[in-house]
């Protein structure tokens, strides 16, 4: 049944039996037979064929089955990988989802070290805002998520692995003040939630409508070009200040937030995920220790 479901996924993707068969490395007649078996099993037509039989579309029943087929095939692949982990095979693909601050500014350097230690693991990275990463994890599309800020979604295990410091920045040579426009992230991002908390807890009055961007790089570039001020990770701010792009304000209080490693409660943890989490904690614990020494 798994092979038939995988063929249905391919047919839905390509809307063509020949291309779907090529992806599955089977013949076109075999692909047609597999879809026919599914239709017989479920007692419903799954595919609508055009007059020339070149392109196909899913019926209503086919669309319903497609939703389950993706999850079933993903869970089977995860189970195969988990069993391989129990057999001490530390290899294969490790699917990592990261929110933007971590994915753009922390993860590349860390993965450079990680992949040297575990060369048989092949990381696949997806970067998005926190809401998107949580959804990917819940849908089984990633093995582990790395996000800024606390996640209280049911079924998710969240472990803090780093304490980040947030600072206010303005364009180089300028002072951040109450008359400046704020540059902020979009709804659904942890950075947006943290900015809202910062403004509320610091009793900051917002005199101008903020400008919204959906990446940290765009926020930093907007500040660099004197469009306004922003609350951003100190890690990003220090790099930009050294490059002469921004100034870190000293008239605003610093805020702190935790970075979290997310996994699903309901899944048996692959050895690759366990090793990644342990190495992640060890690496960032060292970084935090070094950062604290520098602050002292």
Where is the domain boundary, 54, 85, 116? 85
Could you tell me if 230 and 199 lie in one domain? yes
What CATH number did the domain enclosing 174 receive?
3.40.190.290
Where is the domain boundary, 59, 85, 111? 85
What CATH number did the domain enclosing 67 receive?
1.10.10.10
For 266-289, what is each residue's pLDDT tens digit?
777 788 899 999 999 999 887 665
Look at residue 212 and give its three-state secondary structure: strand
Give yes or no for a contact between 142 and 97, defined as CB atoms under 8 angstroms apart: yes
The tally of domains found in the chain comes to 2
The pTM of this model reads: 0.67
For 36-70, what is each residue's pLDDT tens digit?
888 888 888 888 876 555 678 888 888 888 888 87
Domain hosting residue 13, numbered range? 2-85
Identify the pLDDT of residue 296. 46
Could you tell me if 75 and 176 lie in one domain? no
Residue 173 φ/ψ region, left for φ over 0, alpha for ψ in the -120 to 50 degree band, beta for the rest = left
DSSP-assigned letter for residue 210: P
**Strand partners of residue 123:** 94
Sign for the pseudo-dihedral over CA of 20, 26, 27, 31: negative
Only one residue has tokens 């490790």, namely 94
Pairing of β 156-171 and β 144-148: unpaired
């Amino acid at each position: 049944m798994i092979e038939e479901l995988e063929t249905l996924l391919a047919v839905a993707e390509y809307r063509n039996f020949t291309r779907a068969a090529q992806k599955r490395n089977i013949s076109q007649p075999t692909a047609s037979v597999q879809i026919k078996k599914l239709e017989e099993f479920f007692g419903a037509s799954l595919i609508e064929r055009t007059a020339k039989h070149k392109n196909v579309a899913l019926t209503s029943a086919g669309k319903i089955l497609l939703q389950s087929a993706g999850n079933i095939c993903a869970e089977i692949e995860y189970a195969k990988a988990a069993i391989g982990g129990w057999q001490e095979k530390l290899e294969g693909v490790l699917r990592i989802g990261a929110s933007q601050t971590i994915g753009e500014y922390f993860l590349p350097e860390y993965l450079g070290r990680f992949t040297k230690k575990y060369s048989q693991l092949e990381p696949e990275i997806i970067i998005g805002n926190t809401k998107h990463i949580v959804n990917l994890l819940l849908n089984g599309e990633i093995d582990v998520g790395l996000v800024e800020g606390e996640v209280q979604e049911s079924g998710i295990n969240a472990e803090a692995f780093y304490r980040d410091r947030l600072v206010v920045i303005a364009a180089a040579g300028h002072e951040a003040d109450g008359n400046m426009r704020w540059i902020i992230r979009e709804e659904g991002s942890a950075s947006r939630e943290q900015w809202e908390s910062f403004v509320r807890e610091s009793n900051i009055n917002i005199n101008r409508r903020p400008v919204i961007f959906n990446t940290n790089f765009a926020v930093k570039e907007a500040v660099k070009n004197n469009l306004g001020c922003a609350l951003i990770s100190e890690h990003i701010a220090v790099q930009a200040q050294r490059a002469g792009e921004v100034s870190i304000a000293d008239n605003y209080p610093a805020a702190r937030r935790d970075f979290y490693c997310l996994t699903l409660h309901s899944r048996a943890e692959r050895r690759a995920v366990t090793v990644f989490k342990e190495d992640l904690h060890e690496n960032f614990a060292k970084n935090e220790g070094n950062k604290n020494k520098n602050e002292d």
